[in-house]
Amino acid sequence: MEKPILIKNYLSGIITIPDDNSKKIPAILFLHGFGTDKNEVGNTFAIAADKLCKQGIASLRIDFSGFGESKGETTDTTIEKLILDADIALSFLRMQNFIDIKRIGLCGFSLGAGISVLISGKHRGKIKAMTLLSPAGNLPEDFIGYLGLDTFNQLEKSERGMELDLGWRSISLKSTFLHSLKKYFLLDSISAYKGAFFVIAGENDFSCKHVLFHEK
């Protein structure tokens, strides 16, 4: 069963619940990538949620603030705000009486994978498993590579907002987003993570260069 939800009156999501939930069941929180939404490119997360449901695993996929159907503006996006959204979603999952809070996992794509890593460090010992798809590894470096150095430098000076063409959509960001990238080091969080861990990336994916994921 899929059910659209609104968490804290602003965070849009879809919770997928197996029919047999009479006993406590595991759950996955999906965190989408930069500029996408809760279903992810090619409906990847929606398809995965359906397959997990058939195996007795619940899931929640959310739109980060300002994306998809969630309220807010993309210009307010910062790493801190993304972490807060993920925290709120995790709390929602833990409050469901059919969820086994000792068996909650994360699945993130690209920047959402980076947020997953940061959340795992914040909730040490409480994340059972984590899957990262084409994960971010070094946030400032990755966005320089993604946006290009000239655009990155222009955006770093934009206090009111700058329109960016991502190819499939436009998004407005301001300098606070780039400044927030520099505050977080994924290596610190991933080094402390002790649960099950799986990374998927193509051989030409930028994330393959990050030694931290090879070492893990």
| pLDDT tens digit sequence for 130-160 | 999 988 888 998 888 888 899 999 998 888 8
pLDDT, residue 213, reads: 52
Asked if the model's pLDDT at residue 16 lies above 80, the reply is yes
The rounded mean pLDDT for the chain is 91
The arrangement of secondary structure in 2-203, i.e. its CATH architecture, is: 3-Layer(aba) Sandwich (3.40)
Exposed, middle or buried by CB within 10 Å (0-12, 13-18, 19+), for 32? Answer: buried
pLDDT, residue 208, reads: 61
pLDDT digits (tens, 9 = 90+) for 42-70: 999 999 999 999 999 999 999 999 999 99
71 within 8 A of 40, measured Cβ to Cβ: no
Mean of the pLDDT values across residues 167-182? 91
**What pLDDT band is residue 216 in, cutting at 50, 70 and 90?**
very low
47 within 8 A of 4, measured Cβ to Cβ: no
pLDDT, residue 192, reads: 81
pLDDT, residue 123, reads: 87
* Residue 209 CB partners (closer than 8 Å, separation 6+): 137
Asked if the model's pLDDT at residue 78 lies above 90, the reply is yes
pLDDT, residue 87, reads: 96
**What pLDDT band is residue 168 in, cutting at 50, 70 and 90?**
confident
Q: Where are the domains of the chain?
A: 2-203
Reading the block at residue 66, the tokens are 């300002």
Q: Does an H or E element contain 45, and which?
A: helix 44-54
Asked if the model's pLDDT at residue 88 lies above 90, the reply is yes
Asked if the model's pLDDT at residue 211 lies above 80, the reply is no
pTM: 0.93
